[in-house]
């Protein structure tokens, strides 16, 4: 993890600290951080492209 998302050392469970200026950015960084805890992001290579559409009520 890098930037404003960093892994917190703990003996039992993985954890991370995430900072952002906006809620949407916080969710994005949190998702990338969790993905980074599960996989080696540097080793991943894109091999598939897919479009995604999402609808949700406005969150403020």
By C-alpha distance, which of 35, 37, 5 is closest to 18?
5
pLDDT of residue 7: 75
pLDDT of residue 51: 93
Locate the domains of the chain by residue range: 1-60
At 1-60, the pLDDT tens digits run 445 667 777 777 778 888 888 999 889 988 888 888 888 878 888 888 999 998 888 876
pLDDT of residue 3: 52
CB-CB contact of 18 with 31 (8 Å): no
Triad 48, 49, 51: Cα angle to 5°: 145
């Amino acid at each position: 993890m890098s930037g404003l998302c960093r892994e917190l050392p703990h003996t039992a469970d993985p954890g991370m600290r995430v900072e952002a200026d906006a809620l949407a950015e916080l969710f994005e960084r949190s998702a990338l951080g969790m993905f980074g805890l599960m996989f080696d992001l540097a080793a991943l290579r894109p091999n598939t492209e897919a479009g995604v559409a999402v609808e949700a009520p406005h969150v403020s």
